[in-house]
Amino acid sequence: MVRTLLVLAAGAVVSLGGLAQGRDDTAGARLKVVSERDIAEKLDGKEAKVTVVEVTLEPGQAGTPHRHPGPVFGYVLEGEYEHAINDEPVKVLKAGETFYEPAGCLHRVSKNPGKVRTRVLATVVHPRDAKQLSVPEPKK
């Protein structure tokens, strides 16, 4: 399974929204589903699927805190991307760099800090019956 996931991540290679192409659940980020495929491997004993999403953030644009129903493998295609999960410090990633988010972790920072557009390709492994790829974190 790890090999399959790495091949998918590398071959495909942010905050993510719904399963529909172009859906916007991340404060204005443009989302485009690039690929969806059922896979033979299971995720926590459930039938699984892989969805690859391209996320585009304009300069200064940020997503809202959220969680994903499965692990995320991300690749910055262009621009800069501020990224932080759980209580980890914010990292600024540049084009060509990758990130990983464990299933269910809090993706608390998702922002374009630069002056040019940022594009991120995210590969999400999730249960086939997941209703959303991104579940907004309730406000405290």
List, for residues 91-130, the tens digit of each pLDDT value.
Answer: 999 999 999 999 999 999 999 999 999 999 999 999 999 9
Residue 12 phi/psi, 5-degree rounding, is -80, -35
Residue bearing tokens 């999403």:
53
- Closest by CA to 24, choosing from 137, 102, 134, is 134
Instruction: Dump pLDDT digits (tens) for 43-60.
Output: 999 999 999 999 999 999
CA distance readout (Å), 97 to 1, 79, 91: 23, 11, 11
pLDDT band at 12 (very low <50, low <70, confident <90, very high): very low
What is this structure's pTM? Answer: 0.81
Residue 66 has φ and ψ, to the nearest 5°, of -160, 175
Closest CA to 79 of 54, 114, 53: 114
Question: Among the listed ranges 17-21, 82-86, 87-91, which one has the minimum average pLDDT value?
Answer: 17-21
Strands 118-127 and 72-78: antiparallel
Average pLDDT estimate for 20-27? 43
pLDDT for residue 27? 58
Portion of the chain with pLDDT greater than 70, in percent: 80
Q: What is the pLDDT of residue 90?
A: 98
CATH number of the structural domain 2-136:
2.60.120.10
pLDDT class of 140 with cuts at 50, 70, 90: confident
- Res. 19: pLDDT tops 60: no
